Structure 1
């Protein structure tokens, strides 16, 4: 997300990966497809030698190919499943520990059937992933009416799907994103509390939803404090406070909290990353002041 050109899987992806890995602020990185096998091997070498925790995002693959894991059309649904299976294969190639993906669009009717189809798809993916190793899968919750208009959607609904999938794979979980909460019409406390027993990955970022004509409108993850946007230091601090309250973060806990931020227009990726780091430090300082034992 921070280096948008990399999401296509083409180009000198290793160079952007190297920028993150050589910054000791970070101990984890999220990547997506790398189409060139040689480039993929170089990325693997960089993250391995940098001793980075690696996450793999299948979201760009599904979105770019209009993959729908809850499609009522069996062929379309299988095509989406196959897209994620390909992502699982690449995730294993780069030694990723976790893979994230998203549901398909919210249908106009028969939502219950779509939820069952999604659960069935995820069960198949979990079984495939576990047949190859110990990769953990994570369903990211998105907006259901603003931009991506996904079936999942509501974090409460996501928990119902996760309960069903865990009958097959107890490691399966949910990925919640601060950027999405305003579009989901949920507070940090509400969303993270309802998902507390299922959350296995957390994203932090921002969104802008005031004017559809703005280039940052929707699920574009602009920098914190983008004019007219929803999230800045205080909102991030509240999100961190709740993550602390539910036990997702804390002393000795190694769960990932990952930036998902993107340049808008001619903004520089490296500048947006630096601003995000400053925002996180300021937000965490506010959490520490409010919680003296930290």
Structure 2
């Protein structure tokens, strides 16, 4: 491993809507596709006017493509675990439409997040979320696609149902009983927000993880980047930087995720602040990941 590239173990990617917020999807995808550091890209719902051009760029790129419904879901408030059955069915229908768009664009996966929940009704919300997810998985299977749910915070910012690692594992176990084309996305930037350790989250969710995001988080309430804002690595009071990212990679290796036979996506989920340059923040991400990998490799050499 000492002389190998991290790209031999993961598809390194970035989230189009996060890396280039406010930019037309076609322009953002063009930038990412022209950067050979990236093996993968995650795209959000695309406007009708841009759809054909985005599809052409993705076909040319030879990138592994994932589709995230998060941005649209959060904006519209779709709740796939609502106890109001009509509201749950509406969210399910919108997510089914996202699967259609994802398949047309050539994505291999469609990801989403859980909705809001009411304390004291965990079992009921879990049952509703499983119901929705199983329907999404069955629909996606017809298109040879996978479905993924990203683990978010439950009491800091997004405040959604999934949630702590133990509950995420219970949920994933229930879905996998019926559907094998399902997995979880673990995001390094969300782990501080769930008040858990990297070791705990990765170990508990290991059987279900199919995708990783990496980024930073701030828990200082006085900071403008407090919560689930995904600031750059090196941001004041940030919880994740080169040291933490190297530790995360070490945990992924220990848990068996560095497997050349099965390269999972490892994508930057980092958002430039209004006053920051998106292109520079992308380079910040790449430098930080490269430095973390060198640190891990350097420790291996020192152990020889």
The TM-score range, normalised by the shorter chain, is over 0.9
**Which residue of the partner structure matches residue 281 of structure 2?**
272
Q: Is the 8 A contact 1:30 1:57 kept in 2?
A: yes
- Superposed CA deviations along residues 237-294 of structure 1, whole A, max 9, x for unmatched, are 1111111111222444421100000011311111100000000000011111223499
Q: Secondary structure at the match of 1:186?
A: coil
**Which residue of the partner structure matches residue 129 of structure 2?**
118
Shift of 1:215: 2.5
Q: In the alignment, which of 80, 96, 117 is matched to residue 106 of structure 1?
A: 117
Q: Is the 8 A contact 2:145 2:181 kept in 1?
A: no
2:37 is equivalent to residue 20 of structure 1: no
Q: Secondary structure at the match of 2:206?
A: coil
Q: In the alignment, which of 259, 271, 274 is matched to residue 268 of structure 2?
A: 259
2:97 is equivalent to residue 86 of structure 1: yes
**Which residue of the partner structure matches residue 175 of structure 1?**
185
Shift of 1:120: 0.7
Alpha-carbon RMSD across the aligned residues, in angstroms, is: 1.5
Q: In the alignment, which of 210, 221, 243 is matched to residue 230 of structure 2?
A: 221
For residues 129-140 of structure 1, the aligned pairs below 5 Å read 129-131=140-142, 133-140=143-150
CA separation in 1, counterparts of 2:278 and 2:93?
32
CA separation in 2, counterparts of 1:122 and 1:171?
11
Q: Is the 8 A contact 1:61 1:83 kept in 2?
A: no
Q: In the alignment, which of 236, 247, 252 is matched to residue 243 of structure 1?
A: 252
CA separation in 2, counterparts of 1:94 and 1:251?
26
Q: Is the 8 A contact 1:105 1:149 kept in 2?
A: yes
Aligned residues: 286
Q: Which runs of structure 1 show a deviation greater than 6 angstroms over 4 or more consecutive aligned residues? A: none
**Which residue of the partner structure matches residue 189 of structure 1?**
199
**Which residue of the partner structure matches residue 6 of structure 2?**
none
Q: Any stretches of 5+ residues in structure 1 without a counterpart?
A: 7-11
2:220 is equivalent to residue 203 of structure 1: no
Q: Secondary structure at the match of 2:58?
A: helix
CA separation in 2, counterparts of 1:82 and 1:118?
13
CA separation in 1, counterparts of 2:20 and 2:161?
27
Q: In the alignment, which of 141, 153, 170 is matched to residue 160 of structure 1?
A: 170
Q: TM-score, normalised by structure 1?
A: 0.94
